[in-house]
Amino acid sequence: MTDSNRTTVLAGMLVLASAALGLWSQADPHPIAATAASVAFLAGIAVLIVGSRGEPGLARASTVASTGLILFALSDVVSRSLLSLSRDGDAAALRSVGLVVAVLQVLALAGGVTGAVLVVRRHLLEVWTARALMVVVAARVVFAALAFVPLADLPILLAVTRASLVVPLSLLVFAIALLLHGRTALVTGRAHRFIEAWRSSTDVV
């Protein structure tokens, strides 16, 4: 996908919006911001998979990776919708929805891991972009695992609270990597020239 610049830029902008909304929802918890963050991330992944304006997406390179990543991104939107609709239901309905959401999250994490591993191993994205995607998936896996940790101990509670920031921050890194996708050599070259110019200007004659 090194030639799909418009696709990665559009996907990067959507993921960046998701990261910003996610950080905002951490600072000021609001269900609308959290839901919007999930929708923006899903849209970004969808663009990355389908492509934009005739450019190829990940779907052309790997159907399995694309399916896994779509499931990974879609799970939060579906889970939030189910939990919102069942908020006023009885205890039995809440337990049923909770079970469905738990199964969906497990499938989503499995899909995310599968998709990210395939992207890395098959070089479907540039190295840094693929690694950033792996970080996003790993952050979600770790945060999901922390949900099973008892929160009676204050240090553990603080650790989980801080870990919740890792997810939007990992999205921020992934968004930047997408925006720079296909431009790594150009950016690196310019940074190298800037550093060399700065060193030359600070040399003592």
Answer yes or no: are the C-beta atoms of 144 and 109 closer than 8 Å.
yes
Residue 112 in this model has a pLDDT that exceeds 60? yes
Per-residue pLDDT, 46 = 96
**Residue 137: is it exposed, middle or buried by C-beta count within 10 angstroms (0-12/13-18/19+)?**
buried
User: Across all residues in the chain, what is the average pLDDT?
Assistant: 83
Average pLDDT over residues 65-88: 88
Sign of the alpha-carbon dihedral angle for 146, 169, 123, 54 = positive
> What is the chain's Cα-based Rg?
20
Per-residue pLDDT, 205 = 44
- Of 27 and 11, the structure prediction assigns the larger pLDDT to 11
- Of 143 and 174, the structure prediction assigns the larger pLDDT to 174
Whole-structure pTM value? 0.81
Answer yes or no: are the C-beta atoms of 104 and 98 closer than 8 Å.
no
Segment of 63-77, 132-146, 176-190 carrying the highest mean pLDDT: 63-77
Closest-CA residue to 146 (of 127, 132, 165): 165
